[in-house]
Structures are given as structure tokens and as C-alpha cells.
């Protein structure tokens, strides 16, 4: 503000406009609205009116956007809008058997123990959370960071797409959870035996069984993975 001579103008719009014009001629670039209002000793709303009139007459450039538009599109919402749980599972079927194969070749003994542990749902545990922990442990053991991030996003989109269709709680049917755990244990066993063929096949069989359940139901929101 030191570039400007302090001055006091009346609140009359014409005076404000004249003062702003004078400042433009003297200094070119105008200070921020707040500084300008302070400098001219006028109320912000009066200044705003004057600036608006100056813009309308073309004497002032349009106000700059407060923030530059964000460079990254919001993939999450967009993905949920265009997809559904059946597509999510289709993609899981393409990815996860291969990741189970990699896990059987790359898992540390610690990771293998974690996979075996997550294959059995403890009593009163959320079956959805246990399922996610099991599959995530396998993806982590595949040691591909990009795949791990992609998988996280895929599952999140799966949950959101499911919620979009029907808000349902995680599956609680003990029979289905026992079946599911059985399928998980076959995968875990193959990984701990370092058998890539068996790990891949067991994962495919598990996801196909999930897929059957989804397509059997007209309500795509209620299924156990
Ligand atoms: Zn599963």
C-alpha cells in the first residue's frame, strides 16, 4: 500500500469509482479488495458495488477465481456413478487370481501367517471387515504397490456402489461365513505351500462362487464376499 497516497473519499459510488480509476492510472495493479477498502476508507460492500460497475463498463478485468481449479478429477464419485458391484467383481476376478499367484511366490513367513490368520472369521467379528483384511493381506504379499493401491480403490468403489444400490449390513449368515472361510482357507493353504497354480485356482474358485451369489440375487446389495 505504500505506493498509494492515503486518501479519504466519500461513500458516493461515483467518487469511489473515480478513486479506483485514479489508482489504476497511477499504479496499474490494484491491491486486494480488503486493502483497497481500507485505503479508500470505504465500506467493503460499497467498494464491491463500485468494482462491479467498473467491471460491467469494461474498465476492470473480471474478478479472479479464488482458487485455481483442482488438477485432479474426483475419480471416486465418478467411478461409483458409472459402475456397479457386478463390474467390480468382474475386475477382481481378472486381478486377484494373479495376485494370489504372486503372493504364493513372494509372501514372507510373517505375511503368510497373517493370511492364514485372516482366513477364519472370529466370533462376533464383522465378516465384511475380515474378508477385506484377508484379501488385502494377499494383495500386500504380492508386493506390487500399484496393485495394492488399485485394489484398495476397487474395493472402496465396490462398497460405495453397493451402498448406492441398497444399504445393507455386512453378511451375518453363519452358514455362508463358514463356507466363505473354507474357501479362504484353501487359498491361504496354497499360498503357505508356495503353490502358485493352486493359489490362483483357489482364488478364482472363491470369486466365482461370490459372483454366482451376486447374480443369483436380484438385490445386488446383499451378498457375502
Ligand atoms: Zn473373500
CA of 75 to the centre of ligand 1 (A): 25
CA of 184 to the centre of ligand 1 (A): 6
103 pLDDT higher than 90: yes
Closest CA to 112 of 134, 145, 82, 91: 134
Closest CA to 120 of 170, 171, 197, 187: 187
Stretch 168-183: mean pLDDT, rounded?
80
21-52 residue pLDDT tens: 888 887 777 888 888 888 888 888 888 888 88
The predicted pLDDT at position 166 comes to 54
Spatial separation of the C-alpha atoms in residues 209 and 202, rounded to whole Å = 11
Stretch 202-218: mean pLDDT, rounded?
87
56-68 residue pLDDT tens: 887 777 765 555 5
CA of 120 to the centre of ligand 1 (A): 11
CA of 135 to the centre of ligand 1 (A): 6
Query: Which residues contact residue 181 at a Cβ distance below 8 angstroms, ignoring those fewer than 6 apart?
Result: 119, 120, 121
CA of 95 to the centre of ligand 1 (A): 13
CA of 84 to the centre of ligand 1 (A): 18
- Collapsed DSSP state (helix, strand, coil) of residue 56: helix
Stretch 198-218: mean pLDDT, rounded?
89
CA of 209 to the centre of ligand 1 (A): 10
In the chain the domains, ranked by start, together with CATH numbers, are 1-66 (1.10.10.10), 75-220 (1.20.120.530)
Stretch 132-141: mean pLDDT, rounded?
96
67-98 residue pLDDT tens: 555 444 556 777 888 888 889 999 999 999 99
Helix (H), strand (E) at residue 163: helix 145-165
CA of 58 to the centre of ligand 1 (A): 63
CA of 192 to the centre of ligand 1 (A): 17
Amino acid at each position: 500500500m505504500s505506493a498509494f497516497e492515503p486518501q479519504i473519499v466519500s461513500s458516493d459510488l461515483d467518487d469511489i469509482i473515480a478513486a479506483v480509476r485514479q489508482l489504476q492510472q497511477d499504479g496499474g495493479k490494484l491491491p486486494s479488495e480488503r486493502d483497497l477498502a481500507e485505503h479508500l476508507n470505504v465500506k467493503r460492500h460499497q467498494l464491491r458495488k463500485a468494482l462491479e460497475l467498473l467491471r460491467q463498463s469494461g474498465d476492470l478485468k473480471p474478478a479472479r477465481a479464488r482458487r485455481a481449479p483442482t488438477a485432479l478429477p474426483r475419480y471416486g464419485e465418478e467411478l461409483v456413478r458409472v459402475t456397479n458391484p457386478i463390474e467390480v467383481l468382474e475386475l477382481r476376478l481378472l486381478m486377484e487370481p494373479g495376485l494370489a499367484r504372486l503372493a504364493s511366490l513372494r509372501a514372507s513367513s510373517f505375511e503368510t501367517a497373517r493370511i492364514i490368520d485372516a482366513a477364519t472369521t472370529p466370533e462376533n467379528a464383522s465378516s465384511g471387515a475380515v474378508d477385506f483384511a484377508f484379501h488385502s493381506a494377499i494383495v500386500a504379499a504380492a508386493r506390487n504397490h500399484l496393485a495394492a493401491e488399485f485394489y484398495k480403490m476397487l474395493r472402496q468403489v465396490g462398497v460405495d456402489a453397493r451402498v448406492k444400490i441398497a444399504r445393507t449390513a455386512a453378511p451375518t449368515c453363519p452358514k455362508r461365513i463358514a463356507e466363505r472361510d473354507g474357501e479362504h482357507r484353501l487359498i491361504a493353504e496354497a499360498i503357505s505351500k508356495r503353490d502358485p497354480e493352486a493359489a490362483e485356482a483357489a482364488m478364482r474358485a472363491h470369486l466365482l462362487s461370490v459372483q454366482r451369489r451376486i447374480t443369483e440375487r436380484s438385490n445386488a446389495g446383499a451378498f457375502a464376499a
